[in-house]
């Protein structure tokens, strides 16, 4: 059964979508034959079917050792694709205020070069029993490298160099890079990022899986969901493949609008939004092309951005995610005094009110605001649904970028600031 229902009735017509069938079939074929541009980086697309289960078992064993040692916190050190997927998945499944289900606290470091933030996080973990998972495909990224030096020193001071080596896990390239060499020298447990998987497509690889296993997320279900989704989302047909329909829709809307806003009605999806922004921004924003991916959480942001969306410049369309079955629901009780005048909602659930906000807002934005609206109805907050969602957006992202005649898998523009920074810092 499908875990995501796509509704395009407020976006474009089915007829318009079908015009792209031939183009999409060609692109899909070239991806299947590995002849598309950047095809060296297509490893993500069959990852749920080709998962390295031996390595996953090893990750589970390592996580168990950490749990048995009563490690409270895992410091995940990485930036961009090396942390956003794990953060997005943990918040999606467990929420922002996790309960007993969170087996280990996961905190993220090396996501900026802020001294304040780094010092505060070091201070936060210093009296906890913590372990480290340093993640970098290239193994040379400055932000995580700086953070790792500090956290490694702190851990060694706390537990001694020998025990620290047992508590440090490196996720990196199989054969090369500074982090690979570092981890080999120190004999850290290593997990491998395959050559054919880029950072922003790596959430279902050890990059995402090890922190998720430590947190207590069911990665078997996550991969199973992604696998189920892949059966549908790898298909050529624009009649049945919703991921490719979404790709075509945003391509068509992109001719008129410069911005796509990913919206959800669940604060637990905030970091999913961030993951999505990197996926689309870095994959498509090249050669003067691509939609600006931005995001919001409603109804929160209806009280900040709502005015702009309703009546401001007509630069955007919305892609809205709502959830059919909330993880928890609450019924609003009747109050004898009714001082807050809320008795009209008595016996209704909070999720019902959230759904009313969604329906009302869609109507307002589409009909009066003239903002096109793509809707994704997700089944629930489960790992399986998340697996579907990840595959949906990854598959769509590749097609979308190829429709723009762009290689989705490189990011040459990111190097420009780095070069300047290294010049200022005197790095050879």
**Of all residues in this chain, which one has the CB nearest to ligand PA5 in the complex?**
199
Identified catalytic residue from 282, 284, 383, 394:
282
For the chain, how are helix, strand and coil distributed in percent, rounded to 5? 50, 15, 35
CB 168 within 8 Å of CB 131:
yes
16 labelled catalytic = no
Options 105, 282, 284, 318; binder of ligand PA5; rule CB under 6 A: 282
Among the listed residues 80, 211, 306, 372, the single contact to ligand PA5 using CB under 6 A:
80
Tokens found for residue 383: 């790992």
Q: How far is the CB of 83 from ligand PA5 (least distance, A)?
A: 8
Residue whose token pair is 């290689």: 407
What distances in angstroms separate CA 333 from CA 314, 336, 338, 339, 345, one per listed residue? 41, 10, 10, 13, 8
- Is residue 32 a contact point for ligand PA5 (CB under 6 A)? no
| Shortest Å, Cβ 134 to ligand PA5 | 10
Q: Which is nearer to ligand PA5, 150 or 352 (CB)?
A: 150
Q: Note whether 196 and 47 are within 8 A (CB).
A: no
Task: Pick the stretch among 29-37, 73-81, 152-160, 341-349 that binds ligand PA5 (CB under 6 A).
Answer: 73-81
Please state the closest distance from residue 205 (CB atom) to ligand PA5, in A.
11
Contact map string, positions 130 to 169, toward ligand PA5, x by CB under 6 A: ------xxx--x--x-------------------------
Beta carbon nearer to ligand PA5, 282 or 394: 282
CA-based angle 157:74:210, to the nearest 5? 130
Closest approach of ligand PA5 to the CB of residue 338, in Å: 53
Number of residues that bind ligand PA5 (CB under 6 A): 14
Residue 365 CB, shortest distance to ligand PA5, in Å, is 31
Cβ-based nearer residue to ligand PA5, 5 or 414: 414
Q: Report the alpha-carbon distance of residue 373 to residue 253 in Å, rounded.
A: 10
Q: Which is nearer to ligand PA5, 90 or 203 (CB)?
A: 203
> In terms of CB distance, is 79 or 389 closer to ligand PA5?
79
* C-beta separation of 40 from 410 below 8 A: no
* Cα–Cα separations (whole angstroms), residue 2 to 47, 379, 386, 387: 20, 8, 12, 12
Q: Which of 36, 62, 82, 295 binds ligand PA5 (CB under 6 A)?
A: 82
First and final CA of the chain: distance in angstroms? 55
Question: Closest distance between ligand PA5 and the C-beta of residue 154, in Å?
Answer: 21
Contact map string, positions 168 to 207, toward ligand PA5, x by CB under 6 A: ------------------------------xxx-------
Give strand ranges (E) for 266-372: 292-297, 316-323
Give CA separation, 243 vs 60, 114, 324, 350, 379, in Å.
31, 37, 19, 30, 16
Least Å distance between CB 144 and ligand PA5?
Answer: 6
- Please name every residue paired with 77 in a beta bridge, in sequence order, or none if there are none: 109, 134
Q: How far apart are CA 151 and CA 143, in angstroms?
A: 13
Looking at beta carbons only, is 198 or 369 nearer to ligand PA5? 198
> Which one, of 111, 188, 100, lies nearest residue 143 by Cα?
111
Specify the DSSP element, H or E, that contains 147: helix 142-159
Helix or strand (DSSP H, E) at 75? strand 73-77
Please count the residues of the chain.
428
x/- letters, 347..376, toward ligand PA5 (CB under 6 A): ------------------------------
Q: Are 213 and 59 in contact (CB under 8 A)?
A: yes
Any catalytic annotation for residue 282?
Answer: yes
User: Nearer to ligand PA5 by C-beta: 141 or 319?
Assistant: 141
So which residues are the catalytic ones? 282, 418
The residues of the shown chain that bind ligand PA5, judged by CB under 6 A, are 79-82, 136-138, 141, 144, 198-200, 282, 411
């Amino acid at each position: 059964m499908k875990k995501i229902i796509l509704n395009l009735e407020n976006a474009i017509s089915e007829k318009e979508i079908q015009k792209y069938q031939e183009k999409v079939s060609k692109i899909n074929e070239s991806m299947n034959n590995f002849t598309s541009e950047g095809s060296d980086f297509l490893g993500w697309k069959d990852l749920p079917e080709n998962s390295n289960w031996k390595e996953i078992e090893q990750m589970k064993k390592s996580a168990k050792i950490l749990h048995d040692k009563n490690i409270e916190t895992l410091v995940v050190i990485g930036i961009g694709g090396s942390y956003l997927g794990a953060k997005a998945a943990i918040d999606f499944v467990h929420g922002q205020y996790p309960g007993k289900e969170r087996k280990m606290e996961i905190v993220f470091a090396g996501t900026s070069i802020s001294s304040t933030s780094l010092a505060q996080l070091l201070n936060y973990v210093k009296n906890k029993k913590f372990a480290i998972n340093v993640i970098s495909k290239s193994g040379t990224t400055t932000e995580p490298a700086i953070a790792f030096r500090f956290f490694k020193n702190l851990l060694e001071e706390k537990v001694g160099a020998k025990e620290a080596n047992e508590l440090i896990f490196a996720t990196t390239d199989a054969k090369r890079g500074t982090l690979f060499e570092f981890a080999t020298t120190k004999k850290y447990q290593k997990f491998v990022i395959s050559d054919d998987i880029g950072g922003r497509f790596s959430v279902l690889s050890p990059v995402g899986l090890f922190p998720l296993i430590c947190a207590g997320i069911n990665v078997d279900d996550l991969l199973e969901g992604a696998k189920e989704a892949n059966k549908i989302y790898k298909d050529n047909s624009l009649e049945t493949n919703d991921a490719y329909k979404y790709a075509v829709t945003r391509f068509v809307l992109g001719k008129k609008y410069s911005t796509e806003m990913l919206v959800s009605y669940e604060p637990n999806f905030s970091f999913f939004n961030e993951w999505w922004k990197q996926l689309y921004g870095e994959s498509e924003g090249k050669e003067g092309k691509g939609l600006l991916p931005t995001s919001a959480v409603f109804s929160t942001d209806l009280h900040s951005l709502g005015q702009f969306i309703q009546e401001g410049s007509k630069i955007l369309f919305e892609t809205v995610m709502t959830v059919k079955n909330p993880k928890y629901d609450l019924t609003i009780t009747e109050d004898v005094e009714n001082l807050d005048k809320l008795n009209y909602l008595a016996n209704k659930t909070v999720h019902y009110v959230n759904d009313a906000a969604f329906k009302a807002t869609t109507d307002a934005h589409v009909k009066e605001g003239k903002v096109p609206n793509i809707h994704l109805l997700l089944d629930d907050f489960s790992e399986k649904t998340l697996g579907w969602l990840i595959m949906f957006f990854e598959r769509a992202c590749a097609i979308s970028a190829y429709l723009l005649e762009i290689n989705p898998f490189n990011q040459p523009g990111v190097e420009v600031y780095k070069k300047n920074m290294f010049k200022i810092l005197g790095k050879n």
